[in-house]
Amino acid sequence: MDLEAELDAVRSLDIDELAASIQAIGFECTRCGACCKGHGDEHTATVSPDEVRRLMGPEQEWRDVARPIPFGLEDGTGETFEWALQTGSCGDCRFYEAGESTGTCTVYEDRPRICRTYPFSIEVAGSDLMGAVVSRDGAVRAHECDGLGRDISRTDAEAMARQLKERAIHDLQELRAVMDAYEPFDRDPGEAIVHDSEGAKRADGTPVDRR
């Protein structure tokens, strides 16, 4: 995987072309909350260390915001390489509040990049990191969402395009940092370790002391 070449390719993407692709696919958020819900499983929107800290209030701890993403874990133990937003007892994102017909994100202004750009992604490092693709145009991929196919203004499409490009660059830089920081680790039985862009952390976000 040539991350530097992938980064160069993403950096060279034209905002006008991305916006045109977003308009061709079409999107308007219906506030249905589907992308915030677990749908029988735990919600797994990814979140990077800088985003976790932005979401942490003065009375909150790391584990209040994020948890080890379950992929790679068995019964909550093992090693994984990403954080997911914390969930409530029903499996929905803990920052989602359901209403009678629509839902509300309680941290909307500080929501992670993946939430700002859903249901769109840019194919990164040769794979679609958000699952099944239901529509595509140029470099833009769209994932399952009831809001797809609706009219979107050029202004809103350009704003989404800028955020989408920013997210793709950020994700690749995070991946490079994870690979650079990774070191094998003999964890204790029953322990979960997350290897993120800052190194190895325990499930509560505290760095692993390798001494």
Q: What is the model's pLDDT at position 128?
A: 47
- The domain segmentation of the chain, as residue ranges, is 3-202
∠ CA 108-199-166 to the nearest 5 degrees? 40
Q: What is the model's pLDDT at position 54?
A: 94
Give the separation between CA 156 and CA 153, rounded to whole angstroms. Answer: 5
Give the separation between CA 27 and CA 153, rounded to whole angstroms. Answer: 9
pLDDT for 93-105, tens place per residue? 999 998 877 889 9
- Decide: pTM greater than 0.85: yes
Amino acid letter at 106?
A: T
Q: Which conformational region is residue 90 in: left (phi greater than 0), alpha (psi within -120 to 50 degrees), or beta?
A: alpha
pLDDT for 111-136, tens place per residue? 999 999 999 999 865 544 556 899 99
pLDDT for 16-73, tens place per residue? 999 999 999 999 999 999 999 987 677 889 999 999 999 998 889 999 999 999 988 9
Give the separation between CA 71 and CA 81, rounded to whole angstroms. Answer: 9
- Would you place residue 184 in the very low, low, confident or very high pLDDT band (cuts 50, 70, 90)? confident
More confident residue, 152 or 38: 152
CB-neighbour burial class of residue 67 (10 A; exposed 0-12, middle 13-18, buried 19+): buried
Q: What is the model's pLDDT at position 129?
A: 52
